[in-house]
Amino acid sequence: MKRGQSANEAAMLLVILSFLLIVSLAAVSDDLIRTSDNNYKALLQDVADVIESEASIAFASENGYFRSFTLPPTLNGQPYAVSIMNSTQVGDQANMTILSVASTRPNVHLNVTRLLPRDVLGNLVRGSNTVRKENSIVIFGPLPLTPQEQTECNSVGCAVSIMTKEECCDRGYTGCCT
């Protein structure tokens, strides 16, 4: 009888300890995921800050301002998308311009939006971009490809050395978009 009771108590103790171990691991895993998402969101905010400051500097500058800058292809290996959206057009001026920097990771819905000064136009790509001011309007756009980069993007494999497939896709080479 005592052996049976000891075995039952040992089994019960193992079940309780296993349960506590599983609960602890689940809590730690949840914290790691939350921390990873917070770090990723901070990186998205950093990209938005850079773009917002580029727009602000261009707006404060004289017509003819031109500058090139680079956005990283990934954020610590995580994909993202950047877009500039203008509200309905009134005459030649936009009422509002919204910058969006968003996660493209599956099942991760993180998005950073910023309200930019009015009259910001164009599009941004991951990689080399330009910002210029013409007629009091700030225009963003990708830096034109070099002939070697165009050859890489036009090749059957899209790009394997100079540019990534995503960069070629961002710049309009639809054969690279999968």
CATH topology of domain 32-143: Pantoate--beta-alanine Ligase; Chain: A,domain 2 (3.30.1300)
- φ, ψ at 119 (rounded to 5°): 65, 40
Q: How many residues does the chain have?
A: 178
- Angle at Cα 159 formed by Cα 158 and Cα 164, nearest 5°? 115
Task: Give the number of other Cβ atoms within 10 Å of residue 101's Cβ.
Answer: 27
Strand ranges of the sheet holding 66-71, from the earlier edge strand across to the other edge: 66-71, 127-134, 137-142, 120-122
Predicted model pTM:
0.68
Tens of each residue's pLDDT in the chain, 178 residues: 566 788 888 889 999 999 999 988 888 887 777 777 788 888 999 999 999 999 999 999 999 999 999 888 888 888 888 988 876 544 555 577 888 898 887 777 888 899 888 788 888 888 888 999 999 899 998 877 677 766 766 664 554 445 566 666 666 665 565 4
Q: What integer pLDDT is reported at residue 47 of this predicted model?
A: 93
